[in-house]
Structure 1
């Protein structure tokens, strides 16, 4: 927490002083669902290949109309259809609603190969939260992720410079799931009457959270940037 708060750009000076004092953090195991699934998808669409044609156009140069040639891109579309397959292993879905999902998603990636069977000793010094996202709710979110990956696979399979996807029909089989607990460190701090939270990945140390900004520092940075831009513009105008 101290290192993260103290290194923030445009942080108020008072916050950096607060960071140097150090504050306690709380360890908690957050519930997640993981889903495995085997998918096969039939698709239809079109492949777009870009080619160029030469066109003559009239443009004004120094007050006179002149003829120039330009290479104009065109796209040739070819109907296509095919099939892609992907096995999804450990699609991770947050099982809690107590933390902002944007923070927890940003803590990825997790090394799920390091998972261990449940042992009460792992909870020593940590709290463990119960899941509040039901299994079917988590699966619906996992399917949304899978569909995005399948669409990416389809576009790659179509190839070309551009792709149009008309339909994707996916069959899903061998769906399995696990309920897992992953370690997170949490902390909250107050600054000028406002409360800010942040979380730390207990495996990697990745930090995500809320922070205040110094409007004065941002304004000074903008002014300096404008001065530099104006000076550069004047230099090139004089020497161009």
Structure 2
């Protein structure tokens, strides 16, 4: 198990299922965690449970991101904040929803990297993990907005790894399959959607939050010291078809 003692890590989207699981795992491995998100009450609850430090800010606001992260003594970042948007075909997409998905998932991740990178460079390095999706690797029906935003996240990962490697900063992304949360159940829980999807997955089951958090923490850690610029599918084999 990796030891994060003495290292500060920011996790955005910390009140979500994957974000909260990542916070708990990092705290359990000695990290000092800043829990970022838009829900102050949820952050306070998570802080009371785990000892993380709540850090409220809005991923759509560069000013709020800059103010929140600029003076933090960060070694690591997990960009987990995200928005699912809508299930729609390209011809039926609400472009305002598309813009919001891009603003939170792609633009928000880039802005966090933009404003944490100078401090990480000054301190001699660190590690960043972006939470992408299997929807960036294969076409999924109805996912034109979400998949596009996560494809952008993967490119942000690769370019950031290229640019920041000389500063000893590694940047990777993980590409999870569906975690059956209350939000995802609206679509993936449908009898005409879920069974057909799982039938194409070699492992044939939904992922848990902890099964996503564990690889995130691995990529963040020194155990992955020679890994940067990768997009790691955590998808039960779905994208190997």
Using the size of structure 2 for normalisation, the TM-score is 0.20
Question: Which one has the bigger strand percentage?
Answer: 1
Higher RCO, 1 vs 2 (CA within 8 Å, ≥6 residues apart): 1
Structure with the higher fraction of residues in helix conformation: 2
